[in-house]
């Protein structure tokens, strides 16, 4: 009987973590967070700029696709109705502008990408063939952020839309 009691006590189950182990894990995670968070914060402006450029490019490509699909002209008006917004217009009357009764989608670039602003050399007009209406209807949209980053979204006469670094001539 004595031996059975000793065996039961010697095979005691040790599950779980000690308080010291938990404290060490929390301290290590705190040190890692203190190092990683500032580095991540430096990346945010560039990520916002890239996201804004992709959104503008996607909206331009969508306008081109809708022009072909609906056999209709589409216009993208930058800086309308305010400086950080642009409108995608289903230009039913082909007057190169927004008119009453036409489908208009307004996008605000700063709604999703704070501190990103844009300027445009023109308002692209896509024909039912998916090309720019004329050479003057091509555009370069320059997006910038407060950290000095810059991207360009370019629309060519063929209707091609691409993102490039500012100053890149390709």
pTM metric for this prediction: 0.77
| Structure tokens belonging to residue 19 | 């308080």
CATH of the domain at 160: 3.55.40.10
Domain of residue 96 covers 21-165
In a domain, 142, yes or no: yes
Q: What does pLDDT average to in each consecutive run of 10 residues of the chain (170 residues)?
A: 51 76 94 86 88 96 95 92 91 86 91 92 93 87 89 94 86
| Structure tokens belonging to residue 128 | 């039912």
Q: Please give the Cα distance from 99 to 33 (Å, whole number).
A: 53
Burial 146-164 (b: 16+ CB within 10 A, else e): eeebebbbbbeeebebebe
In a domain, 9, yes or no: no
In a domain, 123, yes or no: yes
């Amino acid at each position: 009987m004595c031996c059975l009691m000793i065996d039961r006590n010697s095979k005691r189950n040790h599950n779980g973590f000690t308080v010291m182990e938990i404290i060490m894990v929390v301290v290590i995670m705190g040190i890692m967070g203190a190092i990683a968070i500032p580095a991540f914060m430096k990346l945010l402006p560039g990520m916002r700029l890239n996201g804004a450029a992709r959104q503008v490019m996607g909206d331009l490509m969508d306008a081109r696709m809708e022009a072909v699909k609906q056999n209709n002209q589409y216009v993208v008006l930058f800086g309308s109705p305010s400086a950080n917004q642009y409108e995608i217009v289903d230009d039913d009357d082909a007057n190169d502008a927004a008119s009453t009764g036409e489908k208009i989608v307004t996008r605000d670039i700063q709604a999703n990408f704070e501190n990103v602003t844009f300027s445009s050399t023109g308002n692209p007009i896509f024909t039912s063939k998916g090309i720019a209406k004329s050479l003057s209807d091509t555009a370069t949209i320059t997006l910038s952020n407060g950290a000095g980053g810059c991207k360009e979204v370019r629309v060519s006469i063929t209707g091609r839309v691409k993102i490039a670094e500012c100053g890149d001539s390709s």
